[in-house]
Amino acid sequence: MIRSMTGFGKADGTVGGTPCTVEVRCVNGRYLEQSCKLPKEWSDKEALIRELVRDRVSRGSISMFIRTEDKAGDSTVRIDMELARRTVESLRMIQSELGLGGSIEISHLINVPAIFQGAADSAEKPDVWPELSALIGSALDALNTMRLREGSELEKDFVSRLDAIATGLQDVENKSALRVPAERERLRERVRQLLVEDAIDEQRLQLEIVLLSEKLDVAEECVRLRSHISYFREMLATKEAVGRKLNFLMQEMNREVNTIGSKTNDAEIGRIVVAMKEELERMREQVQNIE
């Protein structure tokens, strides 16, 4: 089953005892492009996160947002009083040695970050990756569920349009089979009108008819187009990422339909070809959304 490149996934949970939310958005993209915004304390996990995404998404522009909620207990600040005393003594020594005036203010101590430490900084931090990766995995699963659902709707649309193109192709083949005899008689009549008083070179006439038949024959194009339609249906049933293959296949199908149109000078066949082109154009637009 095909997957759309667009989708959204979200997961809420707890990581390291902290409430956490992971949101993942995906839009169309030629390749896999990733953007990740996460808390500063988890910045070392970005490479692991990118690898986790690559295991589940093969194409599209991914934006991931990871947010945490601060716990009330985490606001406690530990003050290193010994370091503060040594800092004040050092500042006074500098004043004395250099003959500097002024007083030592609390603002001077604030500029020494090591004096003020969060409560969590004094304890060894546990590895949050098992919980974080599980939460990210849940968000990616939700994303892919949505992309599969949209892919299912796209597949229905593709099948409907492929059926319409296949019906048009059969009509083209049926009408084309009648055109060569009709063109042969039309050519004979034109030659008779041009050479009313002269004898017709039958051998030359037959050669012209053969050349005309080859020019008007669209059998090869019809066979190739039918093969492309069959292959397109096979690709819709696969579990692989087939967006690029389908995009290339659309180009080949469009080429065959254009050739059929250029070889025919029949108004009725021309209308069928135009209808087939319209279906292909709508399919081409939708293929851009496939992973």
The residues pairing with 290 across neighbouring beta strands, listed in sequence order, are 4
**pLDDT of res. 122:** 47
Rounded to whole angstroms, how far apart are CA atoms 212 and 36?
Answer: 62
Residues in the chain: 291
The residues pairing with 18 across neighbouring beta strands, listed in sequence order, are 15
Q: What is the pLDDT of residues 141-168, one digit of tens each?
A: 999 999 999 999 999 999 999 999 999 9
Rounded to whole angstroms, how far apart are CA atoms 63 and 142?
Answer: 14
pTM comes to: 0.70
Asked whether residue 124 carries a pLDDT value surpassing 70, the answer given is no
Asked whether residue 10 carries a pLDDT value surpassing 70, the answer given is yes
Domain limits, CATH 3.30.230, in the chain: 7-71+130-146
**pLDDT of res. 168:** 96
Q: Are 144 and 7 in contact (CB under 8 A)?
A: yes
Q: What is the mean pLDDT of residues 187-191?
A: 65
Asked whether residue 130 carries a pLDDT value surpassing 90, the answer given is yes
Q: What is the pLDDT of residues 215-230, one digit of tens each?
A: 567 888 999 999 999 9
CATH classification for the domain delimited by 7-71+130-146, as one of 3.30.230, 3.30.1480, 1.10.10, 3.40.50: 3.30.230
Asked whether residue 117 carries a pLDDT value surpassing 60, the answer given is yes
**pLDDT of res. 219:** 82
Task: Give me the chain's average pLDDT, please.
Answer: 85
Higher pLDDT, 284 or 97: 284
Asked whether residue 34 carries a pLDDT value surpassing 50, the answer given is yes
